[in-house]
């Protein structure tokens, strides 16, 4: 269930939202339009995304920071994808749910190789496999949102957040166990994920 507060308590919050809108409104509309290819639906997505951002306006440290840009990008992208799926009446349930949840135990750290220097490559490979895995790790551990907040940002259920986190960690674990290092390209916008 998506809960919008949709209320700005202070002038500072209003000013922050206005700055975000003025700086990123074109990109937000572009992202939505690239996914939906429809002007009216893209408008709906931008409005919904802005109202979602109001819920997190007090956590915006800076309008120009990478965290803020990522948050906006993620909210708009996932809101558009959600609308696209509803439009296509895509009700595919993630069938691997139960299988994945069987193995949630981490391998001991000694059996894995954490190569901090390769973290950038690992993150790119993870995003290449499935961008939503990299997104959810960033939201959970870098932005430090809780599961309910992540569900609202990604327009998915609370249960799906948990499942997706398990999968993301599992996929990352496989990457960390792998000794191979291949070339990559960053995926960019995610139309092919839909």
Partner 1 sequence: MKSEHDDEKVLEGYYAYIGKHHVENSVKVFDDLNEKRSCTAYPDELHSWFNAYLSEQIKKEQRNKDRVRMSTFSKRVAVFLLIFVTGIAITTMSVEAFRVKIFNIVTEVTEKYTAIHFTENDLNGASSIMAQWDSYYEPQYIPKGYALVDAKGSGTLKIMYFSNESNDRIEFSQASIDANLQVDTEGASIEDIEINGAAGIFVKKEDLSILLWATDKKAFYILGTLDKETFLNIAESIELK
Q: Report, in Å, the least distance between residue 87 CB and partner 1.
A: 19
Residue of 12, 18, 96, 193 interacting with partner 1 (CB under 8 A): 18
Per CB under 8 A, which region of 27-35, 78-86, 96-104, 152-160 contacts partner 1?
A: 27-35
CA dihedral for 75, 155, 53, 55, sign (positive or negative): negative
How many residues comprise the chain? 194
Cα dist from 90 to 30, 85, 129, whole Å:
23, 5, 21
CA proximity to 188, closest of 23, 21, 24, 30: 30
CA proximity to 56, closest of 150, 142, 131: 150
CA proximity to 189, closest of 80, 68, 44: 80
Residue of 2, 5, 113, 119 interacting with partner 1 (CB under 8 A): 119
Considering only residues 35-94, where is the footprint of partner 1 by CB under 8 A? 39, 43, 46-47, 50, 66-67, 69-70, 72-74
CA dihedral for 4, 134, 185, 115, sign (positive or negative): positive
Q: What is the pattern of x (binds partner 1, CB under 8 A) and - over residues 122-161?
A: xxx-xx------xx-xxxxxxx------------------
Footprint on this chain of partner 1 (rule: CB under 8 A): 7-11, 14, 17-18, 21, 25-27, 29-31, 33, 39, 43, 46-47, 50, 66-67, 69-70, 72-74, 106, 108-109, 114, 116, 119-120, 122-124, 126-127, 134-135, 137-143, 169, 172, 186, 188-189
């Amino acid at each position: 269930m998506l809960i919008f507060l949709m209320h700005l308590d202070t002038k500072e919050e209003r000013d922050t939202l206005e700055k975000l809108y003025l700086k990123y409104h074109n990109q937000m509309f572009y992202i939505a339009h690239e996914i939906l290819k429809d002007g009216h639906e893209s408008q709906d997505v931008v409005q919904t995304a802005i109202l979602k951002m109001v819920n997190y306006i007090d956590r915006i440290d800076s309008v120009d920071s990478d965290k803020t840009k990522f948050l906006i990008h993620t909210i708009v992208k996932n809101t558009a994808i959600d609308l696209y799926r509803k439009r296509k009446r895509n009700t595919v349930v993630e069938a691997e749910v139960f299988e994945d949840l069987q193995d949630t135990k981490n391998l001991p750290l000694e059996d894995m190789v954490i190569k901090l220097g390769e973290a950038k490559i690992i993150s790119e490979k993870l995003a290449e496999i499935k961008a939503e895995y990299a997104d959810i790790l960033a939201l959970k551990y870098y932005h430090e949102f809780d599961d309910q907040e992540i569900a609202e940002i990604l327009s998915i259920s609370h249960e799906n957040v948990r499942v997706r986190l398990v999968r993301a960690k599992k996929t990352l674990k496989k990457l960390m166990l792998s000794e191979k290092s291949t070339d990559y390209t960053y995926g960019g916008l995610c139309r092919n994920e839909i």
